[in-house]
Amino acid sequence: MRILLVLLGIVALGFNGVYGQVKYTSSDKKAIKYYDESIRAINSNKWDEAANYAKEAIEEDPSFIEPYLILGDFYETTGEYKQGLQALEKAVSIDPHFYPTAYFKMAKYALELEEYDYAAQLIKSYFGYESRRKSLDETAKIIQRNAIFAREAIKQKVDFNPINLGPKINSVHDEYYPALTADDEMLLFTRKIPDARVRGIGNNPGMQEDFFLAKRKSAQEEWDMAFNLNGHINTEYNEGAPTITADGKTMVFTACELYGDLNYGEDRVGYGSCDLFISYNENGAWTKPINLGKSINSNHWETQPSLSADGRVLFFIRGKRNSRRAVENMEIMFSVRMEDGTWSSAVPMPSPINTPGNESSVLIHPDGQTLYFASTGHPGFGGEDLFVTRIGPDGEWTEPENLGYPINTSKNENSLLVSSSGDVAYFASNREGGYGGLDLYSFKLPEGLRPVPVSFTKGFVYDEETKKPLEANFKLLDLESGNLIVESKSDAKGEFLVTLPSNKDYALEVEKDGYLFYSENFSLAENPDRSEPRYLEIGMSAVRPGESVVLNNIFFSSGKYDLKKSSEVELNKLFDFLRKNADLRIAIEGHTDNVGEESDNQLLSENRAKAVYDYLVAKGISKERLKYIGYGESKPVASNDTEEGRAKNRRTVFTVL
């Protein structure tokens, strides 16, 4: 297919204008005869024959320009850019003005060969000809831009030492599009394999894409042997480009029709070309995939999804197939999951991310702020390059930054994955020394290209009395702003895993029908070891008289009873709880440590309890359902001999009456 597309491009660039001319630059009849045979071979799409005849013509007359032009184009079809450049150099050395388009093609080849200074010189020569083919000017400007950019960028090499992930991950087949859980303990990727169920050529089976999964016990250990992801996911059709949430419980992937019949695999129906499907891991097994629907999928090409860590925002690529079935006009789209579980209509990412070129391989990092993607439309080294952009405090995305050389080269780079820690990246490459085809590699990501550091937090929710695990809803909020960061639920084992930016303080709220809600706050502002998770054990008490809840996210200034603004998250949670449990009556209790006079502490605790009481009454809770009381320093829950103990004793509690 690649050769066919190149040939079609060659015809567009000047086949009729040069090769088919009647007047030649040679008068040697034998050379002209060979050249005419070369043209006939081109018309029959026999390019190997055409190249041989062109060489015969040159042997008869080394000053015959047209055969050099044929060879220049032929070597592009085979990817032999050095030979193609040499053939065109010979042509322009004979007559620099005969075919100005030769400079355009030479600049393309020089770019492929990473001869950036030479490419810039050649494209400048091309623009110097008024008789040039001006329909190529836009592409020529891109070549010129990339040559000038790369000429300077290559002087500032970044550290890059890729390491093959080894034979437990890679095989003689292609491996690409990796995805990781936040704890770096599960790697999901695409492998292209032969399958007897797929129509092939002759007696050979066809090839199709399946998912493979590898696990390890920690990020410091080696991967176990990758295995085929059985169940409802893999079929005889193509499944690829997976993305998974931080906890590994939700997966979105691409499935494509093979035979133009809108069949996407076992009981799957789509809208045409490639569509996105979603599946959930329930009790260790993946559910039957569901098409994400028309708000995301279309009759175009939807692929390469990337889910935010909390599963609330989906980024993906949409392209359109042209008349030759090639995909073009690829751009990054995004959709937001609504409160009812449906997805908003997908819209393109704003400028400066999408370009008139092609964007692909989008990745939103677990920090929720850093986006990596591949593009042909931003200044680069030629082909697809990898870029990073970050969303600022104003909600605007920064100008995309090229990841630099030699991460990017004149070839195509894509399939980038960045670990939650931000210091390790993964990609696919067919570089020498691999196991065959595309292999997966890892490398240390240079510091300036890393995302915001994130930590992952694991939780276990259980019944305080029976110790049995609970499925419960939880929210994590920015303690300072009150903004919602994560909203999810624990699984049937009572477990959850989330990623959070490491430079903030957080409030945790957990609720389940029939239970008192749970609240806690913790800080990740100083977390030197982000490779180790923070563990939260959350015991929940059933709603019954005498049960109490410590309101850990209600804050006062030292010695005062004015509620801090950061307390509103917790206060509103308590209000919602009382509104949902309309028959419930509670007592609000204030407690202090033993610093200061006992009488002062008694009064302070009562005033703090009353401040919470007043807030709830102002919000509409009946006074008949509330009472407040101050206990001062009389009921400590920890020793007052340490600051940690005194902090636990300074608390606000509510008790069911």
Single residue among 102, 122, 153 that ends a domain in this structure: 153
What are the φ/ψ torsions at residue 367 (nearest 5 degrees)? -70, -15
Residues 51 and 102 in one domain: yes
Condensed to tens digits (0 to 9), the pLDDT of residues 485-497 reads 888 889 889 999 8
Condensed to tens digits (0 to 9), the pLDDT of residues 152-211 reads 999 999 999 999 999 999 999 999 999 998 888 999 999 998 877 776 666 667 788 899
In a domain, 478, yes or no: yes
In a domain, 274, yes or no: yes
Beta-sheet pairing, 274-282 with 290-291: antiparallel
Query: What's the number of domains the chain is made of?
Result: 3
pLDDT of residue 469: 96
pLDDT of residue 196: 73
Tokens of 354: 């999408």
CATH number, domain containing residue 213: 2.120.10.10
Residues 119 and 15 in one domain: yes
Using DSSP, state whether 553 is helix, strand or coil: coil
CATH number, domain containing residue 31: 1.25.40.10
Rounded Cα–Cα distance for residues 604 and 633 (Å): 10
Residues 121 and 51 in one domain: yes
Beta strand extents in 157-312 (DSSP E only): 163-164, 174-180, 186-195, 206-215, 227-228, 238-244, 250-256, 274-282, 285-286, 290-291, 301-307
Condensed to tens digits (0 to 9), the pLDDT of residues 308-340 reads 988 889 999 999 877 676 778 899 999 999 988
pLDDT band at 79 (very low <50, low <70, confident <90, very high): very high
Residues 65 and 120 in one domain: yes
| pLDDT surpasses 80 at 260 | no
Looking at every residue in the chain, the average pLDDT score rounds to 89
In a domain, 374, yes or no: no
DSSP string, 300-338: SEEEEEEE-TTSSEEEEEEEEE-TTS-EEEEEEEEEEB-
Residues 509 and 550 in one domain: yes
Residues 226 and 293 in one domain: yes
pLDDT of residue 264: 73
| pLDDT surpasses 70 at 527 | no
Residues 231 and 337 in one domain: yes
Single residue among 90, 125, 153 that ends a domain in this structure: 153
User: pTM surpassing 0.95?
Assistant: no
| pLDDT surpasses 60 at 19 | no
- State the alpha helices, DSSP H only, in 78-115: 81-94, 101-112
Residues 183 and 147 in one domain: no
Tokens 């209000």, residue?
575
Domain that holds residue 563: 454-656
In a domain, 603, yes or no: yes
Residue 74 identity (one-letter amino acid): F
pLDDT of residue 262: 63
Least confident of 138-142, 446-450, 519-523, 544-548: 519-523
Condensed to tens digits (0 to 9), the pLDDT of residues 409-419 reads 988 888 899 99
Q: Which residues lie below 8 Å from residue 4, measured CB to CB, with a gap of 6+?
A: 324
| pLDDT surpasses 70 at 528 | no
Residues 10 and 127 in one domain: yes
